[in-house]
């Protein structure tokens, strides 16, 4: 225990040197992302993040495991959510973790060399194991958290794309168009249903053209949801006009036993748009 406290004090005294040596040894020509930045603010922030890491990691020899893990995982979370690090390849970040780990192993050798008269073999092996395990947990936790953050970002981006890819376009004060393009999966179909209903209500639409000519592929579940949209539109007083119904989509609808009664259908959008006013009133 006494030796661990001395090692803890020794490592704390090296924190600033660790950060300076680490950053100075970065190969700016071979690194990418945050490590190759020439922005003084980004560089200063990067150094502060590294310095903060050392102040926490040294406590692996001074705190109980639960307390240490809580603090180090909070630091890892801040890095995993940091935009500069999110724009940096994961392999580059892991490489820097390993370089810092080697710095600590070198410091252990330095400390043991300063106490060569003492029997340090068992302690050195134990300390090395503790450090390596700590770095392994940090790197694993970082990858887990960064993956979660990126998954959330991708999901949010996909939701925005879905919303933008299914707009209700006003043609005049009462008529609007919903052009559907690309593949439609069940989650997107559900989002289309919700957005279309809300937009029709907000725009006070009485007739909605739904064009399916740009839909490449559709399955039975999605076809069912599209016809649920048609039923829902009729319930809120909006008359749907369907165009671009591909043969395979029509066949799927028939297999589902969907009702086409009281539904205006045209083969193309241009035909739908040229319907006489007395036919849509």
Q: What is the pLDDT of residues 44-91, one digit of tens each?
A: 999 999 999 999 999 999 999 999 999 999 999 999 999 999 999 999
**How confident is the model over 224-250, as pLDDT tens digits?**
888 888 889 989 999 888 888 777 777
Residues 181 and 128 in one domain: no
CA distance 165 to 214: 11
Please tell me the predicted confidence (pLDDT) of residue 276.
44
- Residues 6 or more apart whose CB falls under 8 angstroms from that of 19 comprise 47, 50, 51, 54
CA distance 210 to 265: 10
Residue 162 maps to a domain: no
The residue among 113, 137, 157 that closes a domain is: 157
Strands (E), 33-91: none
Residues 151 and 212 in one domain: no
The residue among 157, 181, 198 that closes a domain is: 157
Q: What percent of the chain has pLDDT over 70?
A: 89
- The mean pLDDT value for 9-18 works out to 94
Residue 163 maps to a domain: no
Q: Report the CATH number that the domain containing residue 61 is assigned in CATH.
A: 1.10.490
CA distance 6 to 94: 29
Closest CA to 166 of 182, 150, 142: 182
Written as six digits, the tokens of 20 are: 């300076």
Residue 180: what are its φ and ψ, rounded to 5°?
A: -105, 130
Residue 21 contacts residue 51 (beta carbons within 8 Å):
no
Question: Could you tell me the CA-to-CA distances from 191 to 5, 143, 195, 207 in Å, in that order?
Answer: 58, 31, 6, 20
Residue 257 maps to a domain: yes
Residue 102 maps to a domain: yes
Q: Report the CATH number that the domain containing residue 263 is assigned in CATH.
A: 3.30.750.24
Full-model pTM: 0.63
Q: What share of the chain is helix, strand, coil (3-state, %, to 5)?
A: 65, 10, 25
Structural domain containing residue 91: 2-157
How many domains does the chain divide into? 2
């Amino acid at each position: 225990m006494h030796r661990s406290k001395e090692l803890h004090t020794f490592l704390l005294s090296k924190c600033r040197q660790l950060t300076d040596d680490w950053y100075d040894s970065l190969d700016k020509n071979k690194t990418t992302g945050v490590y190759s930045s020439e922005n003084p603010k980004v560089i200063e922030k990067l150094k502060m993040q590294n310095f903060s890491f050392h102040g926490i990691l040294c406590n692996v020899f001074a705190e109980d495991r639960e307390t240490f893990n809580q603090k180090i995982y909070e630091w890892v979370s801040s890095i995993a959510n940091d935009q500069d690090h999110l724009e940096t390849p994961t392999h580059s970040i892991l490489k820097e973790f390993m370089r810092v780990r080697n710095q600590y192993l070198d410091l252990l050798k330095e400390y043991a060399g300063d106490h060569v008269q003492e029997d340090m073999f068992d302690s050195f092996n134990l300390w090395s194991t503790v450090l390596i395990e700590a770095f392994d947990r940090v790197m694993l936790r970082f990858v887990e958290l960064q993956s979660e953050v990126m998954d959330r970002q991708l999901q949010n981006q996909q939701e925005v794309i879905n919303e933008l890819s299914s707009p209700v376009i006003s043609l005049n004060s009462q008529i609007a168009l919903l052009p559907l393009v690309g593949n439609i999966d069940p989650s997107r179909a559900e989002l289309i249903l919700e957005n279309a209903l809300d937009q029709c209500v907000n725009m006070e639409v009485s007739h909605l053209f739904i064009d399916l000519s740009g839909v490449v592929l559709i399955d039975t579940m999605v076809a069912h949801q599209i016809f649920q949209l048609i039923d829902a539109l009729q319930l809120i007083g909006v008359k749907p006009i369907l165009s671009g119904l591909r043969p395979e989509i029509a066949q799927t609808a028939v297999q589902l036993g969907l009702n086409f009664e009281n539904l205006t259908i045209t083969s193309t959008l241009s035909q739908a748009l040229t319907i006489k006013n007395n036919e849509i009133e």
